[in-house]
Amino acid sequence: MMIDTHCHLGKEDYDNIEEVIKNMENNIMIVSTASPSDIKEVIDLCEKYDNIYGTIGIHPEFANTYTKEDLETLKKYLKHPKIVGLGEVGLDYHYTKDNKQKQQELFILQIELANIYHKPLVIHSRDALEDTYNILEKYKNKDLKGVMHCYSGDASYAKKIINLNMYLGIGGVLTFKNEKKLKEVVNSLSTKYFVLETDSPYLTPEPFRGKKNEPVNIKYVAKKIAEIKQEDIGKIFEITTNNAKRLFDLVL
């Protein structure tokens, strides 16, 4: 079984979403909100399809614009049985550095919600790894789990991150020809710290780079990990699937 631990299946993303979902028959998808206005759409997908779960949160891109109502909606649906995590949340200094304070406040507020609701965190961190680490270390409960979605730091930082009870989300970037840092991360850390993700419709792996991504392409990420670690791909699926089950408390 394959689990895509992080994808977006917005209506505007695909012409034929039914087909994209059908391609993942007998596998699992965990759909994340990209914007607070997606929360209801994620809930609808979770309720319609047995093999879809969701994570909801307020992305740092919305630190200046989210409303009180968005927060209320988030809290309400965090209790939904198929919402298995809080995210994606975090810090994005690539997009803008002008509102660091606001981004950090929103991140801290949602870490506290994750502590209260016992939901693992799905973290987006772009050009902000050090602040992300420091805030997590300070505000998360000791037993709170999470994943660094689309991990983009180096191997030594990865070791610090996993000590915070965090998994590393490994996606299509690993298959890119010129990507060295992530290959080094995969090479130097045990598979027991990895979960697979596509971040569909973005970050399409080779050999389809340039086209629209979809969850079934998760197999190319697994294949690349297997190649780097010189392991059987079945073993990579087995370990990462168990990691994902543990991380999101999935009872399948």
Nearer to Ni ion, 4 or 225 (CB): 4
Nearer to Ni ion, 179 or 227 (CB): 179
Residue nearest Ni ion by beta-carbon distance: 199
Count of residues in contact with Ni ion, rule CB under 5 A: 1
Nearer to Ni ion, 136 or 201 (CB): 201
Identify the DSSP state of 179. Answer: -
Least distance CB 45 / Ni ion (angstroms):
15
Least distance CB 202 / Ni ion (angstroms):
7
| Residue 185 amino acid letter | V
Residue 212 burial by Cβ neighbours in a 10 Å radius (0-12, 13-18, 19+): middle
Q: Note whether 167 and 188 are within 8 A (CB).
A: no
Compute the chain's Rg from CA coordinates: 17
Nearer to Ni ion, 41 or 199 (CB): 199
Least distance CB 13 / Ni ion (angstroms):
11
Instruction: Answer yes or no whether residue 38 interacts with Ni ion by CB under 5 A.
Output: no
- Which residue of 38, 92, 197, 199 would you call a contact of Ni ion, by CB under 5 A? 199
Least distance CB 32 / Ni ion (angstroms):
5
In sequence order, the 6+-apart residues with CB closer than 8 A to the CB of 115 are 139, 140, 141, 144
Q: How far apart are CA 114 and CA 91, in angstroms?
A: 16
Nearer to Ni ion, 55 or 243 (CB): 55
Q: Which one of 76-84, 191-199, 224-232, 240-248 is the stretch in contact with Ni ion (CB under 5 A)? A: 191-199
In sequence order, the 6+-apart residues with CB closer than 8 A to the CB of 242 are none
Measured in degrees and rounded to the nearest 5, phi and psi for residue 88 equal -90, 140
Least distance CB 143 / Ni ion (angstroms):
25
- Binding residues for Ni ion, rule: CB under 5 A, are 199
